[in-house]
Structure 1
Amino acid sequence: MSLFEDFLTRLTQKFPEDGATMTMSAFIEANTTLKKKPFSFKGYEFQRQIVDDMHPNLAVIKCSQVGLTEIQIRKFFSFLKRTTAVNGIFSLPNDEMYKRVSKTRIKPIVDDEPVFNQHDTSKKPARSMDLYQVDDSFGFITGGKEGDATSINADIMFNDEVDLTDQEILALYGSRLQGSRIKIRQGFSTPTFEGYGIDSMFKASDQHEYLCRCSRCNHWNLPTFTPKFINIPGLSSDLNDLSEIDNDMVMKMDLDAAFTMCEHCGAKLDLLDPSKFEWVPRHPGRLSRGYWVRPYCAPELNTIRYIVEQLLDYKRKNSIRRWYNTVLGQPYNDASARLSIPEIEAVMKGEGNVDVPLGSPVAVGCDVGQTCHLVVADLRHAVPIVFKWLQVPADELKQAFADLRAQYNVVAGGMDLNPYAPLAHEIRDESKSVVMPIEYATSLKAAPISLVKDETDKITHVSSNRTGIIDKTVGSIRGHRIAFAGYGSKKLVIQTHLQDMVRVELPEQPAKWVKLTGDDHFFHALGYLLHALRIHDFILSQDEQEERQMSVIFGLISTVQQREAGLDFKSRVRSPSLLGLL
């Protein structure tokens, strides 16, 4: 290399190509490399608009094999480079992914690209697995823990794999931008369930779709993996859902001759010509920005053959949801992970008022908030029949419980300990511990039922495994071990609340139930009601065990304190174990 060429190289490294009108994609092309060649968007032209879009509230749904993690890393650090003295957070769902991405994806880009190395060679930039300095700006790489979401202030935040991240932690991340005037937050993820995570964010956005214009008829298409767009020689014309393709069908198909066609005229779409594509928003007036990256956006990788082969592979693994999520980039409504409307309607027995005589044994469940949701179940039948669905302001909750105790024989009850623990304790005491405060426990080792006592050995509340409570509540509905009645005009509200909880299985973590929108109050009220029956049965079994021990030691039967306190409801109503609740 000549002295002049060496001078130009060093000059370029010190003063990267940039300008006020230069787009982010042009900056990345001019200043970064891939496999020792200038970075190019060729074959991934759809990425350019997403990279250039610095909207403060952006969400991208993506399938696999489209290179978005690579490009968003470059976008993130290019922003830090081009903006003076800012902080950015790039979050991954967990420590394992954060360490892997930081080591194998981020570190090579930041260390090897001269544009991201500090101009003043006398100062060594701060570089570690969780922190990368670029000039006077800092990029924090985090693993989705609560401490990560509460300890760093930022101007820009990229959340990678939104759906695999704990949604409560994700919400906490928003507070990290409060002190900034820039406040850019962008999320990227393969989807999981309808209405959850990235799908929910996209639905609230302007919903950009990458449309393809037909060369023959000029019709704009939004290709999907359906018979309307996919032409596979040898595929039966009677097949309406391509996810039904199996090994026997594939033997009759010519996958190499398959193509994506225009829904209007049937001509083959030219998916390799970027001039035929354009990002178009469904709702251009909305304040947040959204993009949906589907398989045909990168057609050379996501061929029809590849999609079909992946379908068969995921079927063999009994993981069809993963095929929808990662290969098609579509959210999936898994019946096993979420209560369906038919399952709910199967236990709904009528909207009319139910005649429950005064003094009848009932159980109560309450989800506490500014508006409290109460459910009351008649226990005189083979299965509990929920006949009251109440919505009560928090300041009227004590009176509502008093009215129920005056009208019925409340033999068991449960309510959440939080967010108003003093109120829960007052209601517990006024009911003589019949209505027990319940605290959701999320620890991996949390017991199904753990009695929490004070220094006088009095039970203050119960701590119980959250996932276990919800699993049993869903199981009771699916197994028809509970019935609903007397709901009047609240039928749709109840169905909405029961469908708001989705069981999500995260990588290397136990399954957990997550909220879709937060409208889930009657669901949790039902959970507290059913769990209260198990709690009282558990307490009674402990008392009986103590009695047996006392009789062995002293040769007599002790008086059970909890019975005197009203905890024994088995003498007044059929055992919940006989009702199939345990």
Structure 2
Amino acid sequence: MSLYEDFLSRINRKFAEDSEQMPMSAYIEANTHLRKKPFSFDGYEFQRQIVDDLHLDLSVIKCSQIGLTEVQIRKFLAFLKRTNSINGIFSLPNDEMYKRVSKTRIRPIVDEEEVFNQHEPSKKPVRSMDLYQIDDSFGFITGGKEGDATSINADIMFNDEVDLTDQEILALYGSRLQGSDIKMRQGFSTPTFESYGIDSAYKASDQHEYLCRCTKCNHWNMPVFTPNFIRIPGLPADLNDLSEIDPDIAAGLDLENAFVMCEHCGAPLDLGNPELREWVPRHPSRKSRGYWVRPFATPRLTVDYIVRQLLDYKRKNSMRRWYNTVLGEPYNDANARLSIPEIEAVMKGEGKPDVSSDVPVAIGVDVGQTCHVVLASLGLPIPYVFDWLQVPSDELRDTIANLRERYNIVAGGMDLNPYAPLAREIRDASNSIIMPIEYATSPSAAPITLVKDELDNVTHVRSNRTGIIDAVVGDIRNQKIHFMGYGTKKSIIMTHLQDMVRVELPEQPAKWVKLTGDDHFFHALGYLKHALRIHQFINHQDEQEERQMAMILGLIQTVQQNEADLGVHGRMKSPSVLGLSF
């Protein structure tokens, strides 16, 4: 090699190929490598537009095995390189994932690519598992903890696996962008449930879909895993849902010759030709940007692969995972969310029944600007909710007073927060029949903890949130409670009862999360049911204390009688020595 060629080679290594007009995808191709070869989007052309899209509010639903984590890492690092003096956050759901991704995917790129190592020898950049300095910009890699979400200010934020991240922590991340002039936030995730996490964000976006044009009839298709788009020799003609394929059906299928077809003419679609593919938004006028990457965005995920994955997940009894990861679709898991049929099964009539003043009644109150109140009759083998009220917060005190005059309310619960003084006032006015309840979100929280003041009076109850909601869902599913008197509120009640989803995150206990926040009657029912447990708990404690006191008094009387009979007062242990005080 000549001196001139050597000089050019060193110059090319030192200065990255870049220009203001260069798209991010072209920059990544020109300056990064994969397996010792220049990075390429071949076979994954759908990634190019997502990588080039620098929209400030972007959400991507994705299936697995399509390389999006790889390109978003490169996009994140390239943005740090191409923008002066910024901070970026790349978040993952937990420490295990963050450490694995940082060690095996981010660190090798940062260490091996010349473009990220153009610095003076005396100015060695800061490089650690959770922090990567590139020139004068810094990239923070985090594991989805509260401290991560409250201690770092940022200009750009990439949230990977949104649905596996604690949604409350994810919301906290948004505050980290408040001081920036850029405020870019982009989220990527396999979905979990409808209207939750990434699915909710995508539904609010312009909703890009990756279409494919048929070369035979020019029809634009949005290929998905349904009989309209999938041709499998040997598939029964009456099978309308491909998820019903089981080992017996699969045995008669010719999966090697299966293909994705045009829904209009039935011709095979050329999924690998980028000239026939195009991202098209459903709602182009919306401000938020969204992309849905389905398995047929690339020709590499075949019908054969999807069917074999289906059979494998069926053997593992994990159909939700198949929908979420293989198809990239949200799943309405009956075990995780109350279904419409389950709710309708306990709805026994719109009319409000008569409840006499001698029948015991329980009350539950979810407090907000509009308070939601439910009343249940306890006079039959199966309790039934007979009234559903929506009351302005400034009228709640008087409404409950009127209800107590009308009904024999023997137990009640309401949330302590956000209006603790009002909750305490109602507690005192009801002689502690209506007890304030504070949700405890810690997995180790006890089902019931009595919180007392300095005079040993119970001020409120702290209870495990997941346990309270589990109990309500169990009663509805097992039809141990009936609903009546809802009138025109039937649809509202059903909406509220479907707004909570039981999510199980990796290495974390299950928890119920909100979808939209319209869940008020759900919580009112929870407070009502839990109030009965609280009163039983308090009564049980009172009975134990009475028995213990009776035993103490009996023991004292026995000791005194023995002392008198034996005349050995000085040699017997006194009650204080036994650990008893009075």
TM-score band w.r.t. shorter chain = over 0.9
Q: Which amino acid aligns with 1:48?
A: R
Q: CA deviation at 1:118?
A: 4.1
Mapping for residues 14-33 of structure 1, pairs under 5 Å: 14-33=14-33
Matched, 1:220 2:217: no
Give the structure 1 partner of residue 577 of structure 2.
none
Mapping for residues 45-124 of structure 1, pairs under 5 Å: 45-124=45-124
Matched, 1:182 2:182: yes
Give the structure 2 partner of residue 457 of structure 1.
456
Give the structure 1 partner of residue 125 of structure 2.
125
Matched, 1:443 2:451: no
Q: CA deviation at 1:121?
A: 2.9
Give the structure 2 partner of residue 192 of structure 1.
192
The answer (yes or no) to whether the contact 1:102–1:141 under 8 Å persists in 2 is: yes
Partner deviation per Cα, 1:307-348 (whole Å, 9 max, x = no partner): 111101100100000000000000001111110111111111
Distance in 2 (CA, whole Å) between partners of 1:61 and 1:83 is 27
Residue 96 of structure 1 aligns to a residue whose secondary structure is: helix
Distance in 2 (CA, whole Å) between partners of 1:7 and 1:538 is 83
The answer (yes or no) to whether the contact 1:503–1:512 under 8 Å persists in 2 is: yes
Distance in 2 (CA, whole Å) between partners of 1:28 and 1:359 is 76
Give the structure 2 partner of residue 284 of structure 1.
284
Mapping for residues 407-422 of structure 1, pairs under 5 Å: 407-422=406-421
Distance in 1 (CA, whole Å) between partners of 2:433 and 2:11 is 78
Residue 215 of structure 1 aligns to a residue whose secondary structure is: coil
List structure 1 segments (4+ residues) > 4 angstroms apart after TM superposition.
none
Q: Which amino acid aligns with 1:233?
A: P
Residue 555 of structure 1 aligns to a residue whose secondary structure is: helix
List alignment gaps of at least 5 residues for structure 2. Answer: 556-582
Mapping for residues 370-381 of structure 1, pairs under 5 Å: 370-381=369-380
Q: Structure 1's 405 and 272: CA in aligned 2 closer, same or farther, altered over 3 A?
A: same
Q: Which amino acid aligns with 1:427?
A: I
Residue 152 of structure 1 aligns to a residue whose secondary structure is: coil
Moved more, 455-464 or 23-32: 455-464
Q: Structure 1's 403 and 172: CA in aligned 2 closer, same or farther, altered over 3 A?
A: same
Q: CA deviation at 1:82?
A: 0.6
Distance in 2 (CA, whole Å) between partners of 1:320 and 1:6 is 57
Partner deviation per Cα, 1:439-494 (whole Å, 9 max, x = no partner): 11111211111111122111111111111111110001111111111111111110
Q: CA deviation at 1:360?
A: 3.6
Mapping for residues 329-344 of structure 1, pairs under 5 Å: 329-344=328-343
Residue 279 of structure 2 aligns to a residue whose secondary structure is: strand
Give the structure 2 partner of residue 274 of structure 1.
274
Give the structure 2 partner of residue 208 of structure 1.
208
Residue 79 of structure 1 aligns to a residue whose secondary structure is: helix
Residue 349 of structure 1 aligns to a residue whose secondary structure is: strand
The answer (yes or no) to whether the contact 1:385–1:483 under 8 Å persists in 2 is: yes
Distance in 2 (CA, whole Å) between partners of 1:8 and 1:462 is 74
Q: CA deviation at 1:120?
A: 2.8
Give the structure 2 partner of residue 569 of structure 1.
none
Distance in 1 (CA, whole Å) between partners of 2:495 and 2:371 is 16
The answer (yes or no) to whether the contact 1:255–1:304 under 8 Å persists in 2 is: yes
Residue 381 of structure 2 aligns to a residue whose secondary structure is: coil
Give the structure 1 partner of residue 552 of structure 2.
553
Residue 467 of structure 2 aligns to a residue whose secondary structure is: helix
Give the structure 2 partner of residue 397 of structure 1.
396
The answer (yes or no) to whether the contact 1:428–1:437 under 8 Å persists in 2 is: yes
Give the structure 2 partner of residue 43 of structure 1.
43
Q: Which amino acid aligns with 1:534?
A: R
Distance in 2 (CA, whole Å) between partners of 1:231 and 1:106 is 40
Distance in 1 (CA, whole Å) between partners of 2:394 and 2:148 is 36
Partner deviation per Cα, 1:163-204 (whole Å, 9 max, x = no partner): 001111111111111111111111000000111110111111
Distance in 2 (CA, whole Å) between partners of 1:538 and 1:2 is 89
Distance in 2 (CA, whole Å) between partners of 1:481 and 1:351 is 18
* TM-score normalised over the length of structure 1: 0.94
Give the structure 1 partner of residue 263 of structure 2.
263
Give the structure 2 partner of residue 466 of structure 1.
465
Distance in 1 (CA, whole Å) between partners of 2:392 and 2:123 is 61
Give the structure 1 partner of residue 486 of structure 2.
487
Distance in 2 (CA, whole Å) between partners of 1:479 and 1:441 is 26
Q: Structure 1's 7 and 420: CA in aligned 2 closer, same or farther, altered over 3 A?
A: farther
Q: CA deviation at 1:389?
A: 1.1
Give the structure 2 partner of residue 361 of structure 1.
360
Matched, 1:423 2:456: no
Q: CA deviation at 1:419?
A: 1.4
Distance in 2 (CA, whole Å) between partners of 1:121 and 1:368 is 62
Moved more, 172-181 or 211-220: 172-181
Residue 13 of structure 1 aligns to a residue whose secondary structure is: helix
Partner deviation per Cα, 1:529-577 (whole Å, 9 max, x = no partner): 0000011111111111122222222139xxxxxxxxxxxxxxxxxxxxx
Q: CA deviation at 1:408?
A: 1.4
Q: Which amino acid aligns with 2:485?
A: G
Residue 61 of structure 1 aligns to a residue whose secondary structure is: strand
Q: CA deviation at 1:96?
A: 0.9
* Structural RMSD (CA): 1.4
Distance in 1 (CA, whole Å) between partners of 2:329 and 2:3 is 54
Residue 90 of structure 1 aligns to a residue whose secondary structure is: strand
Give the structure 2 partner of residue 144 of structure 1.
144
The answer (yes or no) to whether the contact 1:118–1:124 under 8 Å persists in 2 is: no
The answer (yes or no) to whether the contact 1:118–1:125 under 8 Å persists in 2 is: no
The answer (yes or no) to whether the contact 1:416–1:438 under 8 Å persists in 2 is: yes
Partner deviation per Cα, 1:209-245 (whole Å, 9 max, x = no partner): 0000001000000111111111111111111111111
Q: CA deviation at 1:2?
A: 4.7
% identical aligned pairs: 77
Q: Which amino acid aligns with 2:152?
A: I
Distance in 2 (CA, whole Å) between partners of 1:421 and 1:11 is 67
Distance in 1 (CA, whole Å) between partners of 2:271 and 2:87 is 39
Distance in 2 (CA, whole Å) between partners of 1:176 and 1:6 is 46
Distance in 2 (CA, whole Å) between partners of 1:514 and 1:112 is 42
Q: Which amino acid aligns with 1:28?
A: I
Q: CA deviation at 1:353?
A: 2.4
Partner deviation per Cα, 1:418-438 (whole Å, 9 max, x = no partner): 112222122111111111111
Distance in 2 (CA, whole Å) between partners of 1:193 and 1:12 is 48
Partner deviation per Cα, 1:247-304 (whole Å, 9 max, x = no partner): 111111111111011000000111121111000001111110000000011222x111
Matched, 1:323 2:332: no
Residue 350 of structure 2 aligns to a residue whose secondary structure is: coil
Distance in 2 (CA, whole Å) between partners of 1:421 and 1:9 is 70
Moved more, 454-463 or 136-145: 454-463
Give the structure 1 partner of residue 297 of structure 2.
297
Q: Which amino acid aligns with 2:43?
A: G
